[in-house]
């Protein structure tokens, strides 16, 4: 692309599901210079990190390959300072720091595991990246070689359920306990929840509901009732927090640190910044969207469309979204799919067993195909709440 003084520049921070979608779509729908910034060139399929943690090797995608031929410029680096008043962002890479100036910015940094409980950061494993998942896989393998041990998963949300099931199936010699305040599958209907609980029991996962971890030690966890439980490995999935960069930059954020946006997903305090995915506090007529990539990819696409319309002097349309399902794997041979109402409350229909496995593999397959198609064809954003749900990551609710 030939860049001139008049060519607008759009910077996308974050190379996850939402960021890559925004970048590819912006390159397709505008004549702008589109720069995608991410600390690593690896595309992290977060919905498959529990598989990597259990020792499996999902396909390894690289961001430059995903955006190749789209016109997107990839910059490997970490955003360290955002100045929304001056419309600049400082990026630290292997060659030092550089400053990028933008006309519009898509803030797609997403969230990370909340580690505010004492000892979590020092002694617990997380599923925030392929590297942390690989580290957990190494620890589990070593524990198996030593003859077994206790693995605790803190957080009984859908992320914790998937991780506990995957670990128990891949390492039957290990004892796995799932700790959380809520019963597993609490967001599902009673029949789907019953199947989920039976699957955990079949896999040998011991469930402790109604408990909260208050402190993590090198070889134990302390619970809110004063009980101490010895563990060899602890996986922490109890909650997600927003990246602090938005708050530090002075963008208006909510209590969870997410950027407060208007109906078009533009920041209410700095309209040249669009926030998407886990990074945005998005309101809908039925309530507030929670952090899944089932909703994330459509927000990324919509933000790109909104910027494209503004560049053409047109008014952006409001974002509209409704949930479709809660797909949960229970190891490699079982799953449960709870179909939902638009507000993500459980509907009447659900799938279990082999049919659910096939369904989940279909709808959570890699979004690489969507990105490649998006280089040549613009998929309507409203359809991505279905097709884009291929990247749905269960929310960690603890």
Which runs of E-coded beta strand occur in 160-272? 175-180, 205-209, 213-217, 220-223, 228-230, 233-236, 240-242, 259-260
Q: What pLDDT score was predicted for residue 377?
A: 59
Tokens of 121: 């950061």
| Reported CATH class of domain 9-112+240-321 | alpha beta
Q: Tell me the mean pLDDT in the region 326-334.
A: 95
Q: What pLDDT score was predicted for residue 397?
A: 26
State the chain's mean pLDDT as an integer.
Answer: 90
Q: Is the pLDDT of residue 385 over 80?
A: no
115-236 carries CATH number 3.50.50.60: yes
**pLDDT single digits (tens) 113-163:** 888 899 999 999 999 999 999 999 999 999 999 999 999 999 999 999 999
pTM above 0.85, yes or no: yes
**Which of 239-248, 255-264, 362-371 is least confident?**
362-371
Q: What pLDDT score was predicted for residue 393?
A: 34
Q: Is the pLDDT of residue 6 over 70?
A: yes
Q: What pLDDT score was predicted for residue 375?
A: 61
Q: Tell me the mean pLDDT in the region 297-301.
A: 93
**pLDDT single digits (tens) 150-161:** 999 999 999 999
Domain ranges of the chain: 9-112+240-321, 115-236
Whether the CA torsion 116, 122, 124, 128 is positive or negative: it is positive
Q: How far is CA 397 from CA 27, 65, 279, in A?
A: 35, 33, 16
**Which of 19-23, 46-50, 79-83 is least confident?**
46-50
Q: Is the pLDDT of residue 80 over 50?
A: yes
Identical fold for domains 9-112+240-321 and 115-236, yes or no, is yes
């Amino acid at each position: 692309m030939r860049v001139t003084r008049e060519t607008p520049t759009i910077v996308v921070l974050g190379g996850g599901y939402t960021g890559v979608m925004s970048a590819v779509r912006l390159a397709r729908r505008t004549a702008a210079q589109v720069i995608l910034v991410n600390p690593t060139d690896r595309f992290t399929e977060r919905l498959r990190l529990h598989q990597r943690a259990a020792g499996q090797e999902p396909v390894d995608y690289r961001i430059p390959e995903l955006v190749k031929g789209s016109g997107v410029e990839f910059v490997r680096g970490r955003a360290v300072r955002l100045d929304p008043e001056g419309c600049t962002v400082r990026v630290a890479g292997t060659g030092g720091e550089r400053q990028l100036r933008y006309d519009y910015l898509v803030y797609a940094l997403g969230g990370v595991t909340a580690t505010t409980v004492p000892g979590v950061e020092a002694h617990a494993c997380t599923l925030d990246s392929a590297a942390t998942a690989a580290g957990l896989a190494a620890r589990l393998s070593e524990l198996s070689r030593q003859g077994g041990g206790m693995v605790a998963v803190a957080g009984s949300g859908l992320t914790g359920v998937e991780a506990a099931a995957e670990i128990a199936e891949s390492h039957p010699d290990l004892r796995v306990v799932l700790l959380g305040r809520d019963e597993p599958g609490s967001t599902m209907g009673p029949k789907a929840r019953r199947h989920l609980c039976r699957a955990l029991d079949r896999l040998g996962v011991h469930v402790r509901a109604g408990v909260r971890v208050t402190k993590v030690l090198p070889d134990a966890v302390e619970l809110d009732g004063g009980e101490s439980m010895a563990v060899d490995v602890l996986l922490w999935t109890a909650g997600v927090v927003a990246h602090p960069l938005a708050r530090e930059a002075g963008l208006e954020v909510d209590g969870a640190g997410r950027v407060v946006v208007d109906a078009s997903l533009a920041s209410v305090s700095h309209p040249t910044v669009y926030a998407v995915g886990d990074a945005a506090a998005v309101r809908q007529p039925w309530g507030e969207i929670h952090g899944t990539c089932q909703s994330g990819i459509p927000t990324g696409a919509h933000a790109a469309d909104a910027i494209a319309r503004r560049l053409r002097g047109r008014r952006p349309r409001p974002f509209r979204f409704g949930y479709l399902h809660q797909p949960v794997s229970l190891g490699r041979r079982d799953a449960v799919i709870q179909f939902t109402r638009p507000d993500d409350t459980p509907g009447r229909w659900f799938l279990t067993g082999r049919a659910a496995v096939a369904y989940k593999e279909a709808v959570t397959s890699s979004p690489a195909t969507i990105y490649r198609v998006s280089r040549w064809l613009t998929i309507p954003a409203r359809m991505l709440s279905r097709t884009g749900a291929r990247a749905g990551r269960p929310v960690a609710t603890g």
